Chain A
Amino acid sequence: MRCDISTDSDIDMAEAIVRAYLRPVKVGERIAAAFLATSAGYDDADGYRPRASVRREVMPLGDLYERSARLGALLDRRPDWGPGVSLRSISIMVAVGLQRAGFTGTEAALEAAEAAARPNSLISDFFAKELRGTTWNALGISIRISVALTASRLLGGTAAQTRNSLALSCAAAGGFASGFASELVLPLTVRDGISNAFLARKGFTGALHPIMGRRGLLAVMAPDAEPGPIQELGARLREI
Chain B
Amino acid sequence: MVALASELADRVSTVDYRALPDSVRREAGRGLANIVAVTMAGLMQEASEIAVQASVDMAEFGEVPILGKDVQLSEGAAAMVIGVAAHVDDYDDTHLETVIHPSAVPFAALVPLLWSSGSIGATASGNDFLRAYLLGCEVELRLGRAMSPSHYDRGWHITGTCGVVGAAVSAACFLHLSREQTARAIALATGMTVGQRESFGTMAKSWHVGQAAKNGLTAARAAAAGTAVAGDVLDRRGGYLDMLSGRIDQEAVLNEFGDDWLFGEDTYKPYPCGIVAHPLIDAGLVLHGKSIDWAGVDVLDVRCNPLVPELMGARSPSTPLEARFSAVHDMASAVVDGYFDLRSLTEGAISRGSVARIRDKIRLLDDPDVARDAAEVSVRLDGGELVEAAVQHARGSAARPLTTEELHNKVDMAAERNPDAPSGQEVWETVMSLEVSDLRSLRKILHKGVMA
Contact = CB atoms under 8 A, between A and B. Distances in A.
A214 interface: yes
Interface string B51-87: 1011001111110000000000000000010000000
B191 interface: yes
Nearest to B60: A62
Contacts of B349: none
B191 A173 contact: yes
Contact of B229 (A53, A134, A179, A205): A179
A173 B194 contact: yes
B323 to A, nearest CB: 14
A181 B197 contact: no
A194 interface: yes
Given A204-B204, A213-B198, A215-B196, A55 B59 contact: yes
Given A203-B46, A204-B204, A171 B155 contact: no
Interface in A186-240: 188, 192, 194-195, 198-199, 201-207, 209-210, 213-217, 219-221, 223
Nearest to B153: A215
B383 to A, nearest CB: 43
A135 B243 contact: yes
Contacts of B204: 167-168, 171, 204-207
Contacts of A199: 50-51, 54, 207
B222 A184 contact: yes
A175 interface: yes
B211 A172 contact: yes
B61 to A, nearest CB: 7
Given A61-B59, A167-B199, A176-B238, A183 B46 contact: no
B228 interface: yes
Interface string B206-248: 0110010001001000100001111011001011000100000
A184 B51 contact: no
Given A181-B228, A183-B227, A216 B196 contact: yes
Contacts of B207: 168, 171, 199, 204, 206
Contacts of A81: none
B50 A215 contact: no
B391 interface: no
A215 B54 contact: no
Interface string A21-58: 00000000000000000000000000000000111001
A203 to B, nearest CB: 5
A127 interface: no
Nearest to A170: B196
Interface residues of B, number: 48
B107 interface: no
B154 interface: yes
B197 A215 contact: yes
Interface string A47-91: 000000111001001100000000000000000000000000000
A184 B227 contact: yes
Contact of B54 (A61, A170, A195, A219): A195
Give chain A's interface residue range (CB within 8 Å of chain B).
Answer: 35 or more
Contacts of B239: 135, 176, 179
Contacts of A53: 61-62
B47 interface: yes
A202 B54 CA distance: 7
A158 to B, nearest CB: 15
Contacts of B211: 172, 192
Contacts of B195: 171-172
B156 interface: yes
Nearest to B212: A172
A201 B228 CA distance: 35
B202 interface: yes
Contact of A136 (B208, B243, B321): B243
A205 B198 CA distance: 12
A216 B197 CA distance: 7
B267 interface: no
A207 B215 CA distance: 21
B188 interface: yes
Nearest to B211: A172
B230 A180 contact: yes
A173 B190 CA distance: 9
Contact of B196 (A137, A180, A220): A220
A6 to B, nearest CB: 14
Which of A176, A178, A188, A220 counts the most chain B CB atoms within 10 A?
Answer: A220
Nearest to B54: A198
B60 to A, nearest CB: 8
Contacts of A221: 243
Given A171-B204, A201-B57, 13 more contacts: A55-B59, A134-B243, A167-B202, A173-B191, A174-B191, A181-B227, A184-B227, A195-B54, A201-B54, A205-B203, A205-B204, A215-B196, A220-B154
5 contacts: A167-B202, A172-B192, A172-B215, A183-B227, A215-B198
Interface of B: 46-47, 50-51, 53-54, 57-62, 80, 154-156, 160, 188, 190-199, 202-204, 207-208, 211, 215, 218, 222, 227-230, 232-233, 236, 238-239, 243, 321
Closest 9 A/B residue pairs (Cβ):
A215-B155, A179-B230, A135-B238, A206-B204, A175-B191, A58-B59, A198-B54, A215-B197, A180-B191
